[in-house]
Amino acid sequence: NAGVTQTPKFQVLKTGQSMTLQCAQDMNHNSMYWYRQDPGMGLRLIYYSASEGTTDKGEVPNGYNVSRLNKREFSLRLESAAPSQTSVYFCASTENRDLYEQYFGPGTRLTVT
């Protein structure tokens, strides 16, 4: 099992450019999440998908869109990148029952100049 995988690992964008961060999990989990991690701010939830076909906003959704492509994949899109979106982005997943233990991917380090 690869667990949760994310691509790319690193990315540098210019202000106004767009890009999509990809996430996939092979644990047959129902719920998937996108977080960002910033120094002094901790981890904050951007969007989540409780099940295939549904998405909901988290704490900091502005400037982002998501797509739950199928049960395995959950992508995060930045339509017009801004320097404030410089961060480390983590994808996570969990099964929707019992423990709700979340499993994280290795992260994407994004710099917007």
Name the site residues for other proteins (rule: CB under 8 A): 4, 31, 33, 40-43, 45, 48, 50, 58, 90, 92, 96, 99-107, 109
Q: Closer CB to other proteins, residue 14 or residue 101?
A: 101
CB of 80 to other proteins, least distance (A): 27
Q: Closer CB to other proteins, residue 49 or residue 85?
A: 49
Element (H, E) at 25: strand 19-25
CB of 57 to other proteins, least distance (A): 11
CB of 95 to other proteins, least distance (A): 10
CB of 24 to other proteins, least distance (A): 14
Q: Closer CB to other proteins, residue 14 or residue 62?
A: 62
99-106: which pairs have CB atoms within 8 A and are 24 or more residues apart? 102/33, 103/3, 103/4, 103/25, 103/27, 103/29, 104/4, 105/3, 105/4, 105/5, 105/6, 105/23, 105/25, 106/5, 106/6, 106/9
Q: Is 7 helix (H, G, I), strand (E, B) or coil?
A: strand
